[in-house]
């Protein structure tokens, strides 16, 4: 499949993402998320893409986690999707903003109950003295919300990554890969398109 130009890269991403969800053997929503501290020290980890639209890509986390704290200090982030069986890589660079409470509430309500309880029990990225401490915290919140719906904790929610640059890489025979870059200066501007040598 040779890349073709769409006016909005999220449209092209949607085409590939739909194909990946149908054809890849692992979870197609897995994506490497890179963040950096205010002074530019990078870190990267895997997260799950939970939603997308024409504006960008959504993931969720504890707002006390390392990645969330880094995004508060430095709202620039990058993602990299790799679907080897399709010979496709998609790189995204942009800025993040927190999701509104209503959208975070709506997604939280779809999570399995144990994951909801875990969001209350975990002080994500903070030192944990032992496993028993975590399990005791889970038991405590289990009892607290016994017989009722688990509300979203105020320290947990979503981020939206608004792309400023997206590069689509399609593997081709002889390493004559197809690379197409969409870029814009700000989130209010239209994207330009540039092909790159492989």
CA pseudo-torsion sign 128, 154, 56, 184 = negative
Q: Which three-class secondary structure state does DSSP give residue 141?
A: helix
d(CA 39, CA 48): 26
DSSP assignment letter at 46: E
> What's the token pair of residue 6?
């769409």
Active-site pick, 45, 66, 175, 189: 175
- Could you give the dihedral angle defined by the CA atoms of residues 81, 83, 84 and 88, in that order, rounded to the nearest 10 degrees? -80
User: Based on C-alpha coordinates, what's the Rg of the chain?
Assistant: 19
Burial 12-48 (b: 16+ CB within 10 A, else e): bbeebbeebeeebeeebbebebbbbeeeeeeeeeebe
Known catalytic membership, residue 175:
yes
* Enzyme catalytic residues: 175
């Amino acid at each position: 499949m040779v890349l073709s130009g769409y006016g909005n890269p999220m449209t092209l991403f949607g085409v590939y993402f739909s194909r990946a969800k149908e054809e890849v053997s692992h979870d197609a929503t897995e994506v490497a998320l890179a963040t950096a501290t205010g002074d530019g020290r990078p870190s990267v980890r895997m997260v799950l893409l939970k939603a997308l639209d024409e504006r960008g890509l959504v993931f969720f986390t504890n707002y006390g986690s390392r990645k969330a704290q880094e995004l508060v200090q430095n709202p620039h982030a990058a993602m990299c999707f790799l679907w080897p069986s399709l010979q496709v890589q998609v790189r995204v660079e942009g800025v993040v903003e927190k999701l509104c409470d209503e959208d975070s509430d709506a997604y939280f309500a779809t999570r399995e109950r144990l994951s909801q309880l875990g969001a209350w029990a975990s002080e994500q990225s903070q030192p944990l003295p032992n496993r028993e401490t975590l399990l005791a915290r889970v038991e405590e919140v289990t009892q607290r919300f016994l017989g009722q719906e688990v509300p979203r904790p105020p320290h947990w929610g979503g981020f939206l990554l608004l792309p400023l640059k997206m590069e689509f890489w399609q593997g081709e025979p002889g390493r004559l890969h197809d690379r197409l870059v969409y870029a814009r200066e700000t989130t209010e501007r239209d994207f330009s398109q540039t092909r790159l040598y492989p």
